[in-house]
């Protein structure tokens, strides 16, 4: 019987050769990004190749890696590329890749105990508390993303509103709970309400104001209506960078509203939170430090490779009470691998088995430094203003929402077309841009109409990339107009 390691010196050497080849491939891939297409569709031949059954006998790591590099690596979503501005995706960095590789090689289960992964995660939580102005006693947990953070935060707020009874008895004996947000909130909040048994009916959605921010007065009216109806107001969810336009809700006013009614204030800062590392951008997020819980991503603007998010919670006792359970096999010992006093992150969330996300986050910031990463936020915000100015000078396009941070929403003017025809033409324009390989933007609807959204959170983007993308959009627009005239 043999294990799964190489069985001879020759096989070990082949493994080393394959590893060095992979490093060379990854470095070259990043070095040559600007010369490649932003995105390219996977060919049908590769899709068919992927339908093969699993091999009974292995082909060896060199052969398998060669196929992965040739057939799969060229067909990612494109977010490494300097002209990828779709869906608010970070571009990653090579130091972060190295951190992910080393964490994978260590193969740690970061559930807790006396091991590097958990102590490093605790250190990152200390960093985050300092960055975001949370108290030293606040708790935190690395997660797959802010969507998971929103789910956990809502679970904590639900437990607080029911004084912990929901953990024992469920929701059947409780009056209806209510959560308040604007219609610009991320859809993960609705998913969280579904998963926690609250349902869509529990989420009270108020229309955002003209700037795309939460309307505090409307939210107050909704709370009063629910109180009169016998419901229990539970939580306000604010956005520090809405997913559609990047608007920042009036956080101090929402804090005051939450205090007035005894509600939990959760801030979804998936998009904007890391910008507080920039001294010039930090004032825009005033009030975020007073949240009861804060969810944010590091794989977006902070450029850590996927996936990496975090939840901070002001009340550590309430956080642990929501998720901690007892099991003999998880007992702390007087020493050894799980000594009393060591971090036990499994008590702060639903997972027992957890990947080590800390090492790639830590290595990203250790290798590059906070100041250098913060300059990316400032440059991207300036570039969003530049793109908006370029669009404003164009005769064919119009900006359709305020540019708050790094997101620009715009559309083709398409005069003389019905709203439905204009939407169809804008969609065709977006698809044409993606398929051209020049740049990637993503769809959004503003005031009910189909628009293009450029979410500039890419550290590789240069001003010239924005100018090139707009020229390509102009070319595609002319082509669509010609096709439309010919069809007419």
- Summarised one tens digit per residue, pLDDT across range 363-407 is 999 999 999 999 999 999 999 999 999 999 999 999 999 999 999
pLDDT at residue 488 is higher than 60: no
The pLDDT value given to residue 197: 94
Q: How far is CA 81 from CA 60, 92, 287, 437, 457, in A?
A: 31, 10, 34, 10, 11
- Calculate mean pLDDT across residues 323-333: 89
- What mean pLDDT is predicted for residues 279-305? 97
What pLDDT band is residue 414 in, cutting at 50, 70 and 90? confident
DSSP secondary structure letters along 281-348 = TGGGGTTGGG-SEEEEESSSTT-PPSS-EEEEES-HHHHHHHH----GGG--BSSTTSBTTS--GGGG
Residue 485: pLDDT over 80: no
The answer on pLDDT for 110 being more than 90 is yes
Q: Which residues contact 153 (CB under 8 A, 6 or more apart)?
A: 235, 264, 266, 293, 295, 311, 313
Note the pLDDT of residue 330: 86
pLDDT band at 337 (very low <50, low <70, confident <90, very high): confident
Fold of 371-487: 3.90.1150
Domain spans, the chain: 12-75, 101-369, 371-487
Give the count of beta carbons closer than 10 Å to the beta carbon of residue 218: 16
pTM for the full predicted model: 0.95
393: exposed, middle or buried (Cβ count in 10 Å: 0-12, 13-18, 19+): exposed
Strand 407-412 versus strand 293-297 pairing type: unpaired
Whether residue 454 has pLDDT greater than 90 = yes
Report whether 145 contacts 309 (CB < 8 A). yes
Q: Which CATH number fits domain 101-369: 3.40.50.2300, 3.90.1150.10, 3.40.640.10, 3.40.50.2000?
A: 3.40.640.10
Per-residue pLDDT of 254-265, as tens digits, reads 999 999 999 999
Mean pLDDT of 229-251: 96
| Mean pLDDT over each residue of the chain, to the nearest integer | 95
H-only helix segments in 339-412: 358-368, 370-392
- In this prediction, residue 472 carries a pLDDT of 97
Closest Cα to residue 473, out of 416, 410, 389, 386?
410
């Amino acid at each position: 019987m043999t294990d799964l390691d190489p069985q001879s010196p020759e096989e070990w050497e082949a493994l080393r050769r394959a590893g060095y080849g992979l490093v060379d491939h990854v470095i070259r891939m990043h070095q040559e990004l600007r010369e490649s297409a932003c995105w390219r569709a996977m060919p049908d031949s590769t899709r068919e190749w992927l339908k093969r059954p699993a091999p009974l006998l292995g082909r060896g790591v060199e052969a398998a890696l060669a196929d992965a590099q040739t057939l799969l690596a060229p067909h990612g979503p494109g977010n490494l590329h300097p002209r990828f501005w779709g869906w608010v995706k970070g571009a990653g960095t090579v130091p972060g890749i190295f951190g992910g590789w080393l964490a994978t090689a260590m193969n740690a289960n970061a559930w807790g105990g006396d091991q590097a992964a958990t102590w490093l995660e605790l250190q990152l939580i200390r960093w985050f508390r300092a960055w975001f102005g949370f108290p030293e006693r606040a708790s935190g947990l690395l997660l797959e993303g802010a969507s998971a953070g929103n789910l956990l935060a809502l679970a904590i707020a639900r437990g607080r509103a029911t004084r912990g009874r929901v953990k024992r008895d469920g929701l059947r004996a409780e009056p209806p709970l209510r959560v308040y947000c604007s219609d610009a909130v991320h859809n993960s909040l609705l998913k969280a309400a579904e998963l926690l048994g609250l349902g869509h009916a529990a989420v009270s959605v108020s229309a955002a104001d003209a700037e795309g921010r939460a309307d505090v007065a409307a939210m107050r009216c909704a709370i009063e209506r629910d109180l009169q109806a016998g419901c229990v107001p539970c939580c306000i969810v604010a956005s520090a960078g809405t997913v559609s336009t990047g608007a920042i809700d009036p956080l101090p006013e929402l804090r005051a509203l939450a205090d007035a009614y005894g509600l939990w204030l959760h801030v979804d800062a998936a998009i904007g939170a890391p910008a507080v590392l920039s001294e010039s951008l930090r004032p825009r997020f005033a009030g975020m430090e007073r949240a009861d819980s804060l969810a944010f991503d590091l794989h977006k603007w902070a450029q850590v490779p996927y996936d990496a998010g975090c939840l901070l919670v002001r009340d550590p006792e309430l956080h642990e009470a929501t998720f901690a359970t007892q099991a003999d096999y998880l007992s702390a010992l007087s020493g050894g691998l799980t000594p009393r006093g060591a971090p036990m992150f499994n008590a702060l969330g639903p997972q027992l088995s957890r990947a080590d996300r800390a090492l790639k986050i830590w290595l990203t910031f250790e290798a590059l430094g906070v100041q250098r990463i913060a300059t990316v936020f400032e440059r991207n915000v300036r570039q969003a203003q530049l793109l908006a100015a370029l669009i404003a000078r164009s005769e064919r396009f119009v900006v359709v929402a305020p540019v708050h941070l790094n997101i620009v929403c715009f559309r083709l003017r398409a005069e003389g077309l019905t709203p439905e025809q204009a939407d169809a033409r804008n969609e065709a324009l977006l698809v044409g841009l993606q398929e051209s390989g020049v740049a990637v933007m993503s769809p959004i609807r503003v005031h009910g109409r189909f628009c293009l959204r450029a979410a500039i959170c890419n550290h590789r983007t240069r001003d010239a990339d924005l100018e090139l993308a707009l020229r390509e959009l102009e070319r595609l627009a002319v082509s669509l107009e010609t096709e439309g005239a010919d069809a007419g």
